[in-house]
Amino acid sequence: MKTASTKINRRSFLKVTSLTGGGMLLSLNWLAACKPSQDESLGMPKEWFQFNGFIKIGENGKVTIMSPNPEGGQNVKTSMPMIVAEELDVDWKNVIVEQADLDTKYFTRQFIGGSQAIRSGYTSLRTAGATARAMLVAAAAKSWNVPADGITVKSSTIYHKASDKSANFGEFASLAATMPVPEEVQLKANNNFTIIGSSKKNVEAKNIVTGKPLFGIDTQCEGMLIAMIIHPPAFGKQLKSFDDSKARKMPGIKDVFRIKPLQDDYKRTFFDTVQFTDLIAIVGNSTWEVLQAKKVIQTEWEIQEAYEEKRDMFGREGTRVVPRGLESTTSQEQAMKKAAKTPRVQRKDGDPETAFKNASKTIERTYTGPFLSHNCMEPMNFFAHVQEDKVICSGPLQKPELTEKALSSRLGIPLENIEIAMTRLGGGYGRRSYAHWLIEAAVISKKVNAPIKLIYTREDDMTGGIYRSRYQATYRAALDENNQLVAFHVNAGGLPENPLYPNRFPAGAVDNYLAEGWDVPSNITTGSFRAPRSNFMACVEQSFLDEVAELAGKDPIDFRLELLEKSKNNPVGERNDYDPDRYAKVLQLVKDKADWSNPTPGISRGVSAYFCHNSYAAQVLDLKLVNGQVQIDKVTNAIDCGIVINPDAAKNLCEGAVVDGIGTAMFGELTFENGVVSKSNFDGYKQIRMGDAPKTIETYFVENGNDPSGLGEPAYPPVFAALANALYQATGNRFYHQPFVHQLNS
């Protein structure tokens, strides 16, 4: 049994208040009792690891568990309350889950991103439930005049065996609110879990399937107007002038004007990323009327000069260089090739140069990945009503607390006067972290002095940036006369971001290892995309390792396991950010569950395994070519993400990751010509269709009892390479450039 302190650190606090009607409210401001690990600094900010929430117990025994983190389909709105309910010992059927608004009084770090919600809050959520349970027990002990250690709690019932007295939670809620908060509480042993590890239906399932208003786009209020924006048609251009005379005469149009969401001297924080900050706003009565008016506005654009943005990256001061010019895919390629010739050394073990010189066999391959668009099904939107010194907002976003600070700065309104209600995200995976459209909505509302809902068209979103960066990586490997890997070299970079993780596998497993990185400045805005950077590096690393295994004459899984054994027993360096045992176990599990050693005639198979976001995933993908078309029969997942809170939901998340990854690897691509993006809607940017998806997806979890370590992103990256390696087996050709559809059709 684990003991947890209710005083997580100096800033933490517990609040207990009596509610009208005799209820109990317990709020735990948890600042992530988990200890940050070294790898956090490699890929994501610490702030993503923290959150908070609270419990309400009503006099009728019903328990409301507030869910403070945004819900974007990852099912945290169900899984987080399950953790609280487990330690509270409440009967799940008596639980009501509510989405909390942004509230920095009660909550901190109301974020989603980096697969950190469950991981960072696990101990704190359990502590919240256990603390409430302990206070209920103390209240019962006082009321019954019996020792607290003789009282048990199970399924919402408080019971004292010696006196045969029992009560439900509601009977002691008011008294419990007056009891002192215990300094320590006992947490359950894993083998006593009854809710954690059992499958629970999504608490929003009925509302989703019956079409209840859940999303920001559903927002309606009396007097609300509709707003849209026009941004420059090309990266590298800015607004010079416009003629709105025709639009102003059209039915339903209230106003047309120029807005500047972020001021030029504003020091941008991590998620204040947006290229176009000089826009035209159109406001009217209805979406259709505003759309029609938008079409007739005549605009004139000019080339934007180079400039620098001041940046505050979670306390690290810096600048973003924004170059002048209209970029094209060909000019970007030339700039990347040039930058790759002068990389920065990010890690070096041994003497790679000599090892390559003396090798019996060497291999070198170059891989590329294009810009990608998020393409959230729900268009970007937000509701805002600015009233003198008060702001009311509602909509979908991933980092509300950070966005609120940017909004406060832009409007000059104190944080305590801003209300943000969080709606369900109709797609996110990074895109809704960059909530400039909330700032735009508020600026527009203030100008027209009315509540407005800002809506982006699909074209507005797809041509406005926040893409995945464009990447390139060149790998080299050297084998000795015994076909042992003796040297490994990766040279990776991107426009504008370097994707390299220098301390990930196979670092630590090769005596002579060199990792070099580079980047190219760009005026095209990029940002987080599901499993940032890992979505590219997993594909290229695992594709290359397959080819190295083939050169060595070894089975692809056995080859990886040999390297992991070396990393475990005789590791090279001290900065390896993965656990070779956990890594090897997902490979062994997927080998077993996919029956790797007994291939099916006519089926081509590919394997891939990767560590990212604190978890491990391995996948085997089975496919065949039918009349020249790829048909994916099956994908087998093996996942080590620690304790699985909600198994069905976890499997659903893995299935979605597989389908998403296959679609992106096969079809995802954006190109540029003179700063103009090539695709602006789904007619050009192909999404995966039902016929492209696997017929079967099986998911298995490593059961090790470790605390949860994240799932939404780790299951995504490996499938890129599993697909590429299976395609090689089917076609005899290696796939070095995404999207793969181009090579298949050539």
User: How far is 347 from 188, CA to CA, in rounded Å?
Assistant: 43
Return the amino acid letter for 684.
G
**692: Cβ contacts below 8 Å, ≥ 6 apart:** 630, 632, 662, 663, 666
Residue of 651, 504, 649, 630 lying closest to 578 (CA atoms): 504
Predicted pLDDT of residue 33? 32
Give residue-wise pLDDT tens across range 522-561.
Answer: 999 999 999 999 999 999 999 999 999 999 999 999 999 9
DSSP state of 132: H
Give residue-wise pLDDT tens across range 155-194.
Answer: 999 999 999 999 998 888 888 877 888 889 999 999 999 9
Return the amino acid letter for 434.
Y
User: How far is 429 from 427, CA to CA, in rounded Å?
Assistant: 7
Do 216-307+374-462 and 467-745 fold alike per CATH?
Answer: yes
Q: How far is residue 192 from each of residues 68, 86, 196, 311, 332, measured CA to CA in Å? A: 26, 10, 9, 48, 57
Residue of 652, 613, 658, 637 lying closest to 118 (CA atoms): 613
> Which sequence spans correspond to the domains of the chain?
2-195, 216-307+374-462, 467-745
How many residues belong to the chain?
746
Predicted pLDDT of residue 233? 97
Predicted pLDDT of residue 27? 54
Long-range contacts of 556-560, Cβ-Cβ distance < 8 Å, separation of 24 or more: 556/607, 556/725, 557/587, 557/591, 557/596, 557/607, 560/587, 560/609
Pick the CATH number of 467-745 from 3.40.30.10, 3.90.550.10, 3.40.50.300, 3.30.365.10: 3.30.365.10
Regarding beta strands 696-701 and 629-640, do their DSSP bridges make them parallel or antiparallel, or are they unpaired? parallel
Biggest CA-to-CA distance, the chain: 84
Please give the model's pTM, rounded to 2 decimal places.
0.92
**DSSP collapsed to 3 states, 245-274:** HHHHCCCCEEEEEEECCCCCCCCEECCCCC
Per-residue tokens: 47: 């702030």
Contact 658, 696 (CB under 8 A): no
Pick the CATH number of 2-195 from 3.60.15.10, 3.30.365.10, 3.40.50.1220, 3.40.50.2300: 3.30.365.10
Residues of the chain with pLDDT under 70: 1, 5-53, 107-109
CATH fold, domain 216-307+374-462, is Aldehyde Oxidoreductase; domain 4 (3.30.365)
